Amino acid sequence: MSNPTLHDVAQAAGVSYATADRVINNRGNVAQKSIDKVREAVTRLDYVRNVAAANLSRKRVYRIAFLIPKGTNAFFNRIRDHITQVAAHLSAESVSVDIYEVSAFSVEGLSDSIADFRQKDFDGVAIVGLQSNVIEEPLADLRARGIKVIGLVSDLPRDFREAYIGIDNVVAGRTAARMTGMAHAGGRGAIQTFVGSLDARDHAERLEGFREVIAADFPKLTVLDPILTKDDPSILQAETDRLLAQQTDVTALYNVGAGNSGLISAISAKPAQRPYCVVHELVAHSRQALIAGQIDLVIDQRPDVEINRAFAVLRALIDQRETPAMPELTPTIYVRDNLPADPLNEPMKDQNT
């Protein structure tokens, strides 16, 4: 027996083809009685919606937006570049992409930007999130309007988005702690941590995971209270300069967020006093710092994979299909000995991660 068609569903439900089409494709303006009839017929006939045919007949254009922090942060430059590359590739598949920017770590700015999407004609939005109840209402409003919402890199409040695309940041922090603890070889020490903002879920979770492992498995090490930096390289440089000048008992540095160019600049000025150092994200200057022996470890979250997944998940959500099964994203550990080839051979131009 051939697969049932939309004509079969309409006939079984006793409604017109146009009405069945409206119900199946959630186009609204249909009486609840007719909706119930169509849904019952779909179940009885085991009808499976042909997404490709529906999109073709409706000349579907996927209207997708990305909302990311603005500035010259090298990691988010990687994000922007890959969004642009994928968007160019997908343009032949009727995917329209826009990138919007918001001030980093600004809860009010993020809330206002999310609210602005109510006036824009998008099907799905990927947002680099913060943790605040201030953004819950505008997120709920977007979803009520049928816009699919996912968290990207740093998650949104879980009850107000459909999915999260990114690494497990607790695991990333635990990994940083494990490597830092092993580097101390059972000795005593103090670890200075730097955090962009604890409103950023990825930063808060990395610090949480880091503290857990040090407390449980390396009791001779002390994790000092984090220095808040807003991912500003000038703050990282000033604070690291201060630590090195004071010749404190700090034996390791762990930057949870960005601004690493400032950290690297301070370390390079006093190489003999350098503590063990772990940072996140492999970009031009963190790569060079590894090669030069100015830092010891980079934990990278593979943003190219994250962006590819964001597109795939948003399109599935928009089409009302199950999201594709994807293995968990595992942070990648880089030391100077296992650096991948630099595909762009990029110069030292991005200095803010």
Read off the pLDDT of residues 281-310 as tens digits, 9 standing for 90 and up. 999 999 999 999 999 999 999 999 999 999
* 89 and 153 co-located in one domain: yes
Query: How are beta strands 332-334 and 297-300 bridged, if at all?
Result: antiparallel
User: Taking the model in full, what pTM does it have?
Assistant: 0.81
> What pLDDT is attached to residue 351?
44
Range of the domain at 227: 169-300
> What pLDDT is attached to residue 347?
47
> What pLDDT is attached to residue 272?
86
Residue 342 lies in a domain: no
> What pLDDT is attached to residue 18?
83
Closest residue by Cα to residue 169 from 151, 182, 184: 151
> What pLDDT is attached to residue 349?
43
Residue 201 lies in a domain: yes
* Residues of the chain below pLDDT 70: 1-2, 26-28, 48-60, 343-353
> What pLDDT is attached to residue 109?
96
* 296 and 175 co-located in one domain: yes
> What pLDDT is attached to residue 168?
95
> What pLDDT is attached to residue 232?
94
Number of domains making up the chain: 3
Paired tokens of 19 = 């009405």
* 179 and 266 co-located in one domain: yes
> What pLDDT is attached to residue 350?
42
> What pLDDT is attached to residue 348?
44
